[in-house]
Amino acid sequence: METSQDIAYSPSHFARDFEATLTRQAAAGRELAKRYSPIALRAGDDPAACFNLFIPKGEGPWPLMVFIHGGYWQELSNTATDFLAERYLARGMAFASLGYGLAPKTSIETMVAQCIQGLEAAYHALTESGGAWPILLGGHSAGAQLAYWVAANGNVPIDKLVLVSGVYDLTPLVGTYVNKPLGLDRENARALSPQFAALAQLPPCQVVIAENDPPAFRQQGHDFVAALRAASVQAKLLDLPACDHFDVLDYL
């Protein structure tokens, strides 16, 4: 039986037509990959820990955006965000769509390690092709939580974090349908929550929320920005109108 907490953390409940949005975005990514062949690479042994690297034409160095997909740590793949590369290429930026293993087979801790490896691999691959600077790291939904841990623990210095419709406090998920494949208890969920982690060393952050995100997600965005500012991190909250948890990516 669906509980009120399940609904509070169900982005699809508040979205217009999330399946149509995801289908459209995936098709746009496939079409772009046909026109603008990315470099497909793997970071580690897990086939899901891979990325597509789109490099602008001309000579580098190029700014690099590395983006981590969402899916509540249990769905989608790196290709779900390939469509975003179009707008970054138009700005003369390289783009890497980062993938990771999914729950229940893969723990969130392992996902973080895979994303750290993926960022490093994307950085080195672009460096070998002409250089990478500056480095931006983004993530959507569950990917925003992963992006925090990559920025906090990785070896590649991040110049800016872009966190979109994220979950920064995982403890409310423990009693919901989301947690069934994750298997988190409250202690583990808190330890994995950026909201309660060390924030002071983060680069400037842009935290994005959608007008039609679940209210719980919107509140988490506001709370995380407040925590960032309390830690003296430069943080900007971008509240995008007339979009939901899924099509918010169309307006970045």
Sequential pLDDT tens for the chain (252 residues): 678 998 999 999 999 999 999 999 999 999 999 999 999 999 888 999 999 999 998 888 999 999 999 999 999 999 999 999 999 999 999 999 999 999 999 999 999 999 999 999 999 999 999 988 999 999 999 999 999 999 999 789 999 999 999 999 999 999 999 999 999 999 999 999 999 999 999 999 999 999 999 999 999 999 999 999 999 999 999 999 999 999 999 998
Active site residues: 141, 213, 245
Query: By C-alpha distance, which of 103, 102, 85 is closest to 94?
Result: 85
4-251 topology per CATH: Rossmann fold (3.40.50)
For 187, residues 6+ apart whose C-beta sits below 8 A from its C-beta are: none
Q: Which sequence spans correspond to the domains of the chain?
A: 4-251
The answer to whether residues 134 and 168 touch, using CB atoms and an 8 Å cutoff, is no
Q: Give residue 98's pLDDT.
A: 98
Query: Which tokens sit at 53?
Result: 């690297």
Helix (H) or strand (E) holding 133: strand 132-140
Neighbours of 32 (CB within 10 A): 20
Q: Give residue 6's pLDDT.
A: 85
Phi, psi angle pair for 82, to nearest 5° = -55, -35
For 31, residues 6+ apart whose C-beta sits below 8 A from its C-beta are: none
For residue 104, cis peptide bond before it (omega within 30 degrees of 0): yes
The model's pTM is: 0.97
